[in-house]
Amino acid sequence: MQWQQDHAIILGVKRHGETSVIAEVMTRDRGRHLGLVRSGRSRAMQPVLQAGNAVEVIWRARLDEHLGEFRVEPVTLRAARLMETATAVYGVQAMGALLRLLPERDPHPHLFDALEVILDHLHNPADAGELFVRFELAVLNDLGFGLDLAECAATGARSDLAYVSPKSGRAVSRAAGAPWADKMLLLPPFLSIEGNHAADFDSLSAAFRLTGFFLHRHVYEPRGIEAVAARDGFVQAALKALNPALRTLSGPNGISA
């Protein structure tokens, strides 16, 4: 079995023997994929096999279900730049963890395209935070737990959407949700269908609470796992960039200052 050159992004590597590694990559057409890279710990290959780098890979195996081997060629070596800011360091790790929630070798081309875009914007905390939230929403959708933020669950209205029901994951208008506002999750303006608003500190805080809540309820809790620490690190870094006075974050789904 073999597939020819496919564009891929390095998610991580594990040592294998004395000189080789098992590389984990995200490809556009074949999803998250593992493969052995012989001499992957060599001086020539170590800089290439860093998380966030774009590469071309060729995969070979005797049978399709085997691990197989990768031949890797560098395309865009962005890993060094991704070490320059906290949002980039944590963001790469957090997105890799999100992609590991999906089945191996299951194609998700829109997630691959989104990953490439976000990797080129992680150095800008405001942009990175908004893009990361949208990435989490896309992962939730692909896992079968997508949120419906297009219209009010109670009235069908498509304007003045202010809340999200924690039970249904559907948007609720300001008027319809007012009696239960203290039990609702806030819908950040930049996620509403009306919104041409850039994310600010308050709206980004609400967005992290929103995605964190549904990831915990539908994904982490049923699987008996916790969100990776890198997500909290990313949230903290993104929010501190928008509000330097911020000093304390608490909990995977809640933020306190």
Domain match, 145 and 213 both:
yes
CA 82 – CA 30 distance, rounded (Å): 25
Among the candidates 76, 94, 115, a domain finishes at 76
Lowest mean pLDDT among 34-38, 51-55, 193-197: 193-197
Count the neighbouring beta carbons within 10 Å of the beta carbon of residue 251: 11
* Claim to verify: residue 223 and residue 111 sit in the same structural domain: yes
Are 223 and 135 found together in one domain?
yes
Together in a domain, 59 and 111: no
Tell me, yes or no, whether 191 and 105 share the same domain: yes
Provide CB contacts within 8 A for 202, sequence distance 6+. Answer: none
What pLDDT does residue 197 have? 75
Three-state DSSP class for 44? coil
The answer to whether the beta carbons of residues 140 and 215 sit under 8 Å apart is: yes
Q: Let me know whether 218 and 192 are in one domain.
A: yes
Domain boundary among the residues 18, 49, 76 is at: 76
CA 66 to centroid of chain Cα atoms: 27
Same domain, 23 and 135: no
Q: How far apart are CA 145 and CA 47, in angstroms?
A: 37
- Residue 158 domain flag: no
> Distances in Å between the alpha carbon of 3 and those of 43, 55, 60, 64?
26, 15, 7, 10
Mean pLDDT throughout 90-107? 97
pLDDT digits (tens, 9 = 90+) for 2-33: 666 689 999 999 999 999 999 999 999 999 99
- For residue 17, what are the domain limits? 2-76
- Measured over all CA atoms, what is the biggest interatomic distance in the chain, rounded to whole angstroms? 64
30 and 97 within one domain: no
Residue 176 in any domain: the answer is: no
- Give the predicted TM-score (pTM) of the model: 0.91
Residue 199 lies in a domain: yes
Q: How many domains does the chain have?
A: 2
Q: What is the pLDDT of residues 217-256, one digit of tens each?
A: 999 999 999 999 999 999 999 999 888 666 444 444 444 3
Look up residue 186 and give its two tokens.
């806030």
pLDDT at 248: 47
Instruction: Report how far Cα 152 is from the mean position of its chain's Cα atoms.
Output: 27
| Domain C-terminal end among 49, 76, 103 | 76
Looking at the structure, tell me whether residues 65 and 109 fall in a common domain: no
137 & 195 share domain: yes
pLDDT of 190 reads 93
Residue 242 and residue 222 share a domain: yes
- Comparing 64-73, 124-133, 248-257, the range with the smallest average pLDDT is 248-257
